[in-house]
Structure 1
Amino acid sequence: MRFRTELLVPPMHTAVADGRQMRDMDGRSVIDIKWSEEAGVGCTRKCLYRGDGAHFTMEDGVDEDRVISYRVNDIHLYSIFDGHDGSKASQFAAQQFPLELLLGQLEGPIDDEEVRNVVSNAFLMVEEKFFDSLEESASPPYNATGPFSPKTRPGKNDTVVPNPMAGGTTAVMAIYCHGKLYFAHCGDTVAVLCYLKPNGELTARTVGIQHNIDSDDEALRLSLLGLDVNELKQRQPLKLTRCIGNYALKKQYQTFDILRPAVNSPIICDPEIIGGLPINANYRGFIYLMSSGLYKSWYECSGSENVEEDIAKMIATQLCSDKSLHDVAQAVLEEVCSRHAAAYAAGKDFFRREEMTLLIRNFGLDRSDVQPSTPPPRIASDLGFPSAALFNPGLRRSASEQLTETVETDADSLSPPILRPAELDAEGFEYIDPYVDFAELASVDTDFEWTDSDE
């Protein structure tokens, strides 16, 4: 059967396929999976700038991002897959995750822990099936030829032979089911929760952390595996510490000198999962998912340290209009494109803009909550940027007071506020076990010692 696709999104960004393609390896079929009209999606292709200031879209380039917005009954699945080294992994993930999550696995009754187990297992199953498909289609031996192989040291202009086993993708996911909202991600794609506080102020909260070598949590995990984190940061061989795919860096990591000391594969696909957050009829807010290309592009052209809040401000501004969520998402991307091109023309030293994808799901926020204002009020934690929208406290105050505040914004913080498992418990959420599990290391006989990174 076919997916029913009342789409307003270019087909290149969807996981639509015929029934034969959309059957998983266990023979399950796609039945009654529909496109979720409650979300809006915007996307742009890569762009190159010329020396004279002109720019053009790479129409013949490979679109590596994929986005899905599906539902079965009251279970909604929203996700962005930001591929690298081609679209093979992101396309596979976009096809397989609906099969792992929307064919009865999340049907009630089900508690938060069971949901997290289902989602975590889905990430592992999708990667395992992706690796199986690569091994079946490639001719052995599976050489680890690639930008991080022993034959191509960082800093040298070696020719890289295309590797049929290459390819990976990040994943950021929001699942709305049984009146609760769950987030899961691995990689550097971003999820942001935006909600209306009782005083009418919109708070934007980044969900989780980016999984790269600059993350303290990930640096600790890698160091406990026996890797020299300082060397990894200096040589910069790892863009991501978590992703789906990247066969060589996971299956053959010991062939790389810098990764050989690790007692286990340092690159993993284990997701960071947060939730569930109750969403009732009184909730006023929205969530958005964005690719790393959108995050990077806005940071490049604005220099802002508060990218997540800036994007939330632009979304809130567009919600003042009569636009559909698709048009709102696309308008935000067009604003980023315009600012990015203007920054290049003003002398910024970048020469391209990455592919960008944005998904927005609204939860009860309407035009009566959002009104144009003069002067611009603050948004989120008052981190120094203006907002073009005022969230009217009078209209929704009684309803908003019934909500459980997720987290209080730290007004003194200079970095974007982040939802993390350790913080949620103090705010009335059910405690979530740490997502980094070092239990396996307790039984491993290692010959390295922990040392202070400053020594």
Structure 2
Amino acid sequence: MLLRNTKPIPDQHKFQTTDSWTDALPVCKQSAVGSSTNQIYREDGSREEEHPFEDKSFHCIVNDSTYFYGVFDGHFGSKTATFALQRMAAEILLGELSGKSTDEEIKDVLRQAFFSVEKGYMDSIDSILAERASLLYEIPDGLSSYEAYEKYPREMERLDLLNCELSSGTSAVIALIHNGKLYVANVGNCRALLCKTDVNSVLRVVQLSVDHDLRNEDELLRLSQLGLNTDELKRGTVVGNQENTRCLGNFLVKGGYREFQSLSSATSEPVIAEPEILGGIVIDESCRCLLLMSDGLYKSLEEATSSDQVNKDIAQLVVSEFRVQSTLTGVAQAVVDKTVRVHHDFAMSVSGSVSVSKRDDITLLIRNFNFALPNAKQSPINPTVRFNPHVDAQTMNTLTSVNNSIINSIDTTISNSFQSDQTDPDTDPDPDHIDANQLTNNNNRRIPSYVDFSLYFKNVEIAKQNGTLPPGIDFD
């Protein structure tokens, strides 16, 4: 059999679909996505893409106890990534979690979802496989590529197109939060990182996914046990026609693996769809945020900086953007944009034997747990605030508690007890009208009294004279 070119073709967009039923799912407001299309670097600086955007993602809320997230990094088009996104969400969300409570039960649901998506996709390409088999039957065995193209040009051109479509596959990483626990499953080299603080309040980064590629010693061992020459695979840097040792889709490195010389000696399919699964991790106060990403993010940063701790670098970028951005989407997109800029600058600066000619698609999904957005806009830009003069009655055991509550109210006024007001502060006659910037620019200034306590002290004095003053209040 002849295995022809499987490189993406210029008109591959005809295999892509844009509509997805997952678009109708309620979006999780505690999450956001940043992305950037791939780029071929040109000396004149012009923007040029190698292929249409192939990453897909979703971030949805099912109910108060169930959230679902996913990033899919397609290759040879977005056909498989789109299929996997839709089918994966259906497999997980449409009743499969009902009655499942233990970690093992939920992990089994995730595992079976990957297998169902794989089977469903392979079933969906039956007509393409049939046409390809018919074309191969028409071309005699033993012909060189040159001879085949010379004698059967129409058949060979069509075969190239079919091989390209059959090569469509995707890496995938999904995260399920169910009943306060986190579960992560992946195939390929999309990553999941959990940022959390340790007992000393130091932020730590934990990789929850497994990179299924030729840098993974466990995967090399698995391939070796199938009879493959792993040294040869590493020299070629690919498994058949892709980098990953696991994926969804890509029939050519699965059912058609024997057509690749480097894979032909395998005793069974070398590229599999079985996911790595981790969970359930209890979501507690130490969990700050979850990051799901396509490999374009960490590989671009790795290549540009030669960092050997790229997960930490990404986490630091995220933390720095939480401090300055006003929205979660702004955080995710800013991290992507900074990575793109760093990689572009690196590519434009290298010379000689080092050559960086392009960058892959990038997707970053952030699920926030406990990170604050200090610059989040709660009202129109540059708002002024008015203190709410209403004071709820509380039982106070000591005068110290009263004083502390007043001090604390000053610190928490903006978040807990203000009313937005768009009036120009320069013309507002209300003496209680205070510019929010004044609260932060001069922390030591004396704040004018805004609550009249004279009635309170009068009643305290009466209670003292009547002997009904609660114990513990000491005015001395």
- TM-score w.r.t. the length of structure 1 is 0.68
The alpha carbon displacement at 1:198 in A equals 2.4
Match of 1:122 among 99, 113, 116: 113
- CA shift, 1:125, in A, is 0.6
Counterpart for residue 180 of structure 1: 181
1:275 to 268, 276, 279: 279
- Equivalences for 1:204-223 in 2 at 5 Å? 204-223=205-224
Look up the SS of the partner of 1:204 in the other structure. Answer: strand
Change (3 A) 1:290 1:106: same
Shift of 1:363: 1.1
Measure, in 2, the Cα distance between the counterparts of 1:142 and 1:300: 41
Whether contact under 8 Å (2:326, 2:373) holds in the other structure is: no
Match of 1:102 among 93, 99, 112: 93
Query: C-alpha displacement at 1:320, in angstroms?
Result: 1.1
SS in 1 for 2:98: coil
Residue 35 (structure 1) aligned with residue 27 (structure 2): yes
Q: Which stretch of the first structure deviates more once superposed, 162-171 or 309-318?
A: 162-171
Distance in 2 (CA, whole Å) between partners of 1:271 and 1:144 is 34
With over 3 angstroms needed to count, the CA separation of the structure-2 counterparts of 1:16 and 1:85, relative to structure 1, is closer
Question: Take 1:46 and 1:97, find their aligned partners in 2: how far apart are those partners?
Answer: 25
Match in the other structure for 1:88: 79
What are the equivalent positions in structure 2 for 1:253-292 lying under 5 Å apart? 253-280=257-284, 282-292=285-295
In structure 1, how many angstroms separate the alpha carbons of the residues matched to 2:247 and 2:57?
A: 16
2:233 equivalent to 1:241: no
Q: Which amino acid aligns with 1:290?
A: M
Q: For the structure 1 residues 57 and 323, does the alpha-carbon distance in structure 2 shift closer, same or farther, using more than 3 Å as the test?
A: farther
Could you tell me which residue of structure 2 aligns to residue 161 of structure 1? 160
C-alpha distance 110-168 of structure 1, shift in aligned 2 (>3 A): same
Q: Is the counterpart of residue 72 in structure 1 residue 78 in structure 2?
A: no
Q: CA deviation at 1:56?
A: 1.0
In the TM superposition, 1:297-376 aligns within 5 A as: 297-347=300-350, 349-367=355-373
Q: Which amino acid aligns with 2:328?
A: L
Q: Distance in 2 between matches of 1:139 and 1:62?
A: 27
Distance in 1 separating the partners of 2:270 and 2:291: 29
Question: Given that residues 40 and 360 in structure 1 are in contact (C-alpha distance below 8 angstroms), is that contact kept between their aligned partners in structure 2?
Answer: yes
Distance in 2 (alpha carbons) for counterparts of 1:49 and 1:263? 41
Q: For residue 212 of structure 1, what is the amino acid of its counterpart?
A: D
Supply the distance in 2 between the matched residues of 1:226 and 1:61 (Cα, whole angstroms).
35
- CA-based RMSD of the aligned residues comes to 2.9
CA contact (8 A) 1:218 1:241 kept: yes
The structure number with the bigger radius of gyration is: 2
Counterpart residue number, 1:17: 19
Give me the whole-angstrom Cα distance separating, in 2, the residues matched to 1:132 and 1:264: 20
Q: Does the aligned pair in 2 maintain the 1:75–1:102 contact within 8 Å?
A: no
Report sequence identity in percent.
Answer: 34
Contact residue 42 and residue 326 of structure 1 kept, 8 A: yes
Select which of 136, 150, 162 maps to 2:127. 136
Runs (5+) with no aligned partner, structure 2 = 1-15, 137-142, 146-155, 375-476
In structure 1, list runs of 5 or more residues that go unmatched.
1-13, 23-29, 153-157, 369-455
1:145-177: CA deviation from partner (whole Å, max 9, x where unpaired): 9xxxx978xxxxx99922232200000111111
Instruction: Compare the two structures and name the one with the higher helix fraction.
Output: 2
How many matched pairs? 336
Give 2:51's match in structure 1, choosing from 46, 50, 61: 61
CA distance in 1, matches of 2:135, 2:250: 10
Instruction: String of CA shifts for 1:383-417, please: whole Å, max 9, x gaps.
Output: xxxxxxxxxxxxxxxxxxxxxxxxxxxxxxxxxxx
Q: Is the 8 A contact 1:48 1:55 kept in 2?
A: no
CA distance in 1, matches of 2:364, 2:38: 14
SS at match of 2:254: helix
CA shift at 1:232, angstroms?
A: 1.6
